[in-house]
C-alpha cells in the first residue's frame, strides 16, 4: 500500500477580469485569426506607399490609360521558356471601329520589373520620407507601367490606389467609433449624474437622432458644408459626422448602467470616504462599463467602416485626391451598367472592405464571448 503524499496545490490566485478574458480569448482560434489579419491589414496600410509601385495620383497626361486591364506578370521568357527577370508587356490602345470602345492589346515591348526601385516620393506615417518602392518598372521608360489590379478611371494604378485608400478606410471607421464612444459615455454620464432637465434634454436628443434615418441625416449634415471643401477637411468632416450620429445607443446604456450602479454599496462607501463627485464618476462608476465598451468598440468599428465606405460610394465621403475603398467602388458605376462586364477589376476594392469587416467581426465576436461569463468553458 502506498500512500501518495498530498501534492501541495499552488495557491489559487485571484484572477482579474482581463486575465480571465485573455485566457478565454487564447482558446478562440477564429478570433485570433481575425486579430492577425487585422494586424496585417494595418501594416499594409502603414507601408502602403512602399508596397505600391506608384504615387497616390500619378498618371500620365499624354498617354491616357483609362481602365487599363490588369497586366499579368510573366516569369518565363516566351521564346526560350527559361526563367527570366519578371516582366509585363506594354499595352497598346486601339479604337474598335465596330463598337467604338477603346481596346487594350499587349504589344511585344517588355517592361522589366525591378525590386526596390526608386520612384515617387512619399512619407510613411506622414513623417519618414522615402522614395523606394517594393516593385516597379523604374523611371527609364515612362510608358511602361505595371497594373497589378488594372487601372481606374484616370488611368492610375488601381493597386496603388487601393493601398492608399486602405489608410483612409482603416482609420476613419476606427476614429469615428472612438469619438462616438467618448461622446456616448460623456452624455450618458451627464444624463445620469445631473438628472432633471439635462437628463430629459439628452435623452430626447438621442431619441430624435434615432428617429431620422441615418443616411438622410448624414446627407442633410453634409449639405451644410459647401460642395468644394478642402479634401483633408472632408475626411475630418466625415469622421465627425459618423461619430455624431452614432453615440445615442451607448449614451442610453451608460445612463441606465450608471443609474443602477449609483445605488450600490461601493459607491456609498466611496462617498463615505469623502471622495469627490468626479472621482466617484471616473474611478468607480465608469469602469463598470469597461466590458460593454470594449465589446461595443470591436463590433461598432466594422459597422463604421461599412458606413464610411457607403458614404464614399455615394460621393459624400472621401474626395479627390484622397480615396477610400468605397469611392474606388463608385467607379464601377461610371459609364452605365453594361461597362462593368468590360472591367470587372474595378470590383476588387470591395473585397478589401469585406475582408476587413470580417476580420473585425471575428475579433469582436471573440472578445464578446471572452468577456461573457455564460460562454466560458
Q: Sign of the CA dihedral 271, 274, 277, 281? A: negative
- The residue with cell 490602345 is 93
| 211 forms part of the interface with another protein (CB under 8 A) | yes
| 309 forms part of the interface with another protein (CB under 8 A) | yes
Cβ nearer to another protein, comparing 285 with 303: 303
| 40 forms part of the interface with another protein (CB under 8 A) | no
What is the x/- site pattern for another protein, positions 214-233, by CB under 8 A? xxxx-xxxxxxxxx------
| 161 forms part of the interface with another protein (CB under 8 A) | no
What is the x/- site pattern for another protein, positions 258-297, by CB under 8 A? ----------------------------------------
Q: DSSP letters along 310-376, please?
A: HHHHHTSSS-TT---HHHHHGGGGTT-GGGGGG-GGGGHHHHHHHHHHHHHHHHHHHHHHHH-GGG-
User: What is the spatial distance between Cα 63 and Cα 359, in angstroms, rounded to a whole number?
Assistant: 39
Minimal distance, residue 23 CB to another protein, in Å: 25
| 198 forms part of the interface with another protein (CB under 8 A) | no
| 323 forms part of the interface with another protein (CB under 8 A) | no
| 32 forms part of the interface with another protein (CB under 8 A) | no
Q: Which of 205, 259, 261, 275 binds another protein (CB under 8 A)?
A: 205
User: What is the spatial distance between Cα 324 and Cα 322, in angstroms, rounded to a whole number?
Assistant: 7
**Are the CB atoms for 321 and 120 separated by under 8 Å?**
no
C-alpha separations of 3 from 7, 10, 85, 133, 182 in Å = 12, 21, 74, 71, 61
SS3 assignment, position 121? strand
Chain positions contacting another protein, by CB under 8 A: 204-205, 207-208, 210-217, 219-227, 302, 306, 309-310, 313-316, 326, 329, 332-333, 337-338, 340-341, 344, 347, 350, 353-358, 361
Amino acid at each position: 500500500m502506498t500512500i501518495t503524499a498530498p501534492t501541495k496545490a499552488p495557491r489559487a490566485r485571484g484572477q482579474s477580469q482581463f486575465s480571465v478574458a485573455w485566457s478565454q480569448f487564447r482558446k478562440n482560434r477564429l478570433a485570433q485569426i481575425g486579430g492577425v489579419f487585422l494586424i496585417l491589414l494595418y501594416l499594409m496600410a502603414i507601408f502602403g506607399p512602399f508596397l505600391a509601385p506608384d504615387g497616390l495620383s500619378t498618371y500620365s497626361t499624354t498617354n491616357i490609360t483609362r481602365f487599363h486591364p490588369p497586366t499579368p506578370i510573366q516569369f518565363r521568357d516566351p521564346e526560350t521558356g527559361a526563367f527570366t527577370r519578371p516582366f509585363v508587356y506594354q499595352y497598346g490602345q486601339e479604337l474598335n471601329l465596330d463598337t467604338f470602345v477603346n481596346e487594350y492589346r499587349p504589344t511585344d515591348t517588355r517592361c522589366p520589373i525591378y525590386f526596390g526601385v526608386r520612384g515617387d516620393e512619399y512619407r510613411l506615417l506622414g513623417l519618414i520620407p522615402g522614395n523606394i518602392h517594393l516593385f516597379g518598372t523604374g523611371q527609364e521608360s515612362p510608358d511602361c507601367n505595371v497594373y497589378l489590379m488594372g487601372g481606374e478611371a484616370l488611368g492610375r494604378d488601381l493597386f496603388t490606389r487601393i493601398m492608399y485608400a486602405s489608410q483612409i478606410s482603416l482609420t476613419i471607421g476606427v476614429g469615428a467609433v472612438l469619438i462616438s464612444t467618448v461622446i456616448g459615455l460623456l452624455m450618458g454620464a451627464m444624463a445620469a449624474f445631473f438628472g432633471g432637465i439635462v437628463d430629459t434634454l439628452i435623452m430626447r436628443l438621442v431619441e430624435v437622432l434615432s428617429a431620422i434615418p441615418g443616411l438622410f441625416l448624414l446627407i442633410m449634415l453634409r449639405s451644410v458644408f459647401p460642395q468644394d471643401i478642402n479634401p483633408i477637411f472632408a475626411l475630418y468632416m466625415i469622421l465627425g459626422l459618423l461619430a455624431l450620429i452614432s453615440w445615442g445607443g451607448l449614451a442610453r446604456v451608460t445612463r441606465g448602467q450608471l443609474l443602477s450602479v449609483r445605488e450600490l454599496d461601493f459607491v456609498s462607501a466611496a462617498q463615505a470616504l469623502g471622495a469627490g463627485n468626479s472621482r466617484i464618476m471616473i474611478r468607480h462608476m465608469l469602469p463598470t462599463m469597461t466590458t460593454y465598451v470594449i465589446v461595443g468598440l470591436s463590433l461598432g468599428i466594422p459597422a463604421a467602416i461599412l458606413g464610411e465606405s457607403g458614404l464614399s460610394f455615394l460621393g459624400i465621403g472621401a474626395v479627390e485626391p484622397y480615396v477610400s475603398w468605397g469611392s474606388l467602388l463608385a467607379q464601377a458605376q461610371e459609364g452605365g451598367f453594361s461597362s462593368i462586364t468590360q472591367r470587372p477589376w474595378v470590383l476588387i476594392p470591395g473585397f478589401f472592405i469585406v475582408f476587413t469587416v470580417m476580420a473585425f467581426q471575428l475579433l469582436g465576436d471573440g472578445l464578446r464571448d471572452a468577456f461573457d461569463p455564460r460562454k466560458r468553458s
